[in-house]
A and B are shown apart, each in its own frame.
Chain A
Amino acid sequence: MTNAIRLPAGKAGNTQYAQRNKAQSTLEITVALIAVFILFLGSVKIFVWVNERMVLRQEAYEKTRVSAGSSNFEVQVDESDFPKLDIFGENAQ
């Protein structure tokens, strides 16, 4: 037993098959496009986040160089103000 749809034979059947197939493809391509878009958006967000964070870390490091090289050995970079990774806007205020 199979659940395959049995289409009527002849020209009408072929047309109907093509329409159903096209509809299926439309759904699939829609989902795929959304996925690709999300993937791309995520890539952009990660790209921006990584680079922004590197720049901020570098700035923070440069600011702590002198104090780290003095008698204050416990200098820590405060990363609490650094941007969070926010791909879907879940951290938006």
Chain B
Amino acid sequence: MNGVLTRHPLFVVALFAPAAILVGVLTFYPFINGVLLSFTNYSPLYKDTSFIGFDNYAYLLEDPAFWDVVKNTLIMIVSSVVIATVLGFALALLLDRIPVGRRTFRALIFQGWIVPWVTVAVLWGWIFNADYGIINWTLRNLGLIDGILGWTTDPVRAQIVIVSGFVWRIIPFMMVMALAGLQGVPDELLDSARVDGAGPLQRLRHIILPLCANVMLVAALLQAVRLFQEITLPWVVTQGGPINATTTLSLYTYKAAFQQWDFGLASTVGILWTIALVVIASVYLKFLLRRHD
């Protein structure tokens, strides 16, 4: 194929040019420029800009509020992804074994994944409403709480609200990925294990889980990276509070950039975030490859 296509050099250019230009101008240039901006105090609110070296980095790293934000972001994203992976996998196991209506169930559950984040946000604000929310009403009826429980007024409860929204929104994705992974488990293997007297739990542990682990771990990483970008839910439901408990790194960066118009500082957060993600992802993948190669 290489030979055939190289006879049409213009065609090859035409294949790559649009994507290269779009990605170059809209992604790579902004990233490089972001690196440069992070060494300046650029702000649209002021007319002059100067090069300030690593001042922005120092400013952030010695700010306890920034470290709180990092910690809270990690807590919320890791717990969301872990919970969603486990529940998504469990759902897939269940659906994989039902004889009829598998597609219907899958389609219904999958609806959650296409609901716009802004809808999830207003909906979560409503169902967790302290006075009239259906969650509080249900808890009261079950006798679990007495009176009114303020979901967004307590740091831990506010995190629970955000995590539950994240989990609800990504379970369908994890389920679909798990179903795809289960397709790759050869029936013969399961059958012979059964013949050898392995119970369902043993089959799950020794055959299904090892074979699906890679898919699930990669899916979990993808969703974690995606949740790092997510901003709507904390913005709308908790405004990042109380006490920054639900301020994610993305909300923090966005506020620095487009509420405080501190482009230098926002770029610095973005660069630190990129570095952290690269480190986390490579450690994660390395660990994965070692275990499963």
Q: Do A and B bind each other?
A: no
* Residues of chain A whose beta carbon lies under 8 Å from any beta carbon of chain B: none
